[in-house]
Amino acid sequence: MSEGEQVKKGKGTVFVQTEVCKGCSYCIDFCPAHCLEFSRDFNRKGYHYPVLGRPEDCTGCDLCGLYCPDFAIFGVRFKDLEKRKQPAPEPLIPARG
């Protein structure tokens, strides 16, 4: 995981696994808030991955996560993150037995 935003802006943020991204730009073109853009650098395979260009616009709706064919990006809302901070951390999906 990387690309966690340093400063809290907007209502949410995205996390990108840069190494599995193939640069298809689905997330960038179909972000409802138009807050993603291509990075200047590229990953080990030579693809430009998405970065949060306008973090103040991100709502953490996770539509990028739904579009991503490579399971490389997902969005979270800050309020969901806050909820998880207080009690013992619980994974979003219960671990499978």
Partner 1 sequence: MSETDLLELEIENPVASYLRQERLPHIWCPGCGIGTTVNCFARALTESAMDLDRVAIVSGIGCTGRVAGYLNLDSFHTTHGRAIPFATGLKLGNPDLKVVVYSGDGDLSAIGGNHLVHAARRNMDLTVICVNNFTYGMTGGQVAPTTPIGATQTTMPYGNFENPFNLPFLADACGAVYVARWTVYHVKQLAKAMLEGLRKKGFVFIEALAPCPTLYSRRNRLGDGVDQLKYYKEKSKIVNGADTKDVGLTFQGDIVVGRFVDRERPTWLDAMNEHYSQHFGEKYVPYGVSHGQD
Q: Which is nearer to partner 1, 40 or 85 (CB)?
A: 85
Task: Give the Å distances, CA to CA, from 62 to 13, 30, 43, 79.
Answer: 9, 11, 22, 14
- Which C-beta is closer to partner 1: that of 53 or that of 61? 61
Minimum gap (Å) between residue 63 Cβ and partner 1: 7
Q: What is the Cα–Cα distance from 95 to 66, expressed in whole angstroms?
A: 20
- Rounded Cα distance, 44 and 83, in Å: 35
**Please, what is the minimum distance in Å from the beta carbon of residue 38 to partner 1?**
12
Minimum Å gap between C-beta 94 and partner 1 is 8
Find the shortest distance in angstroms from Cβ 70 to partner 1. Answer: 6
Q: Which residues make up the interface to partner 1 (CB under 8 A)?
A: 1-2, 4-6, 8, 13, 15, 17, 19-20, 22-26, 29-30, 47, 62-63, 65-71, 74, 76, 81, 84-85, 89, 91-93, 95-96
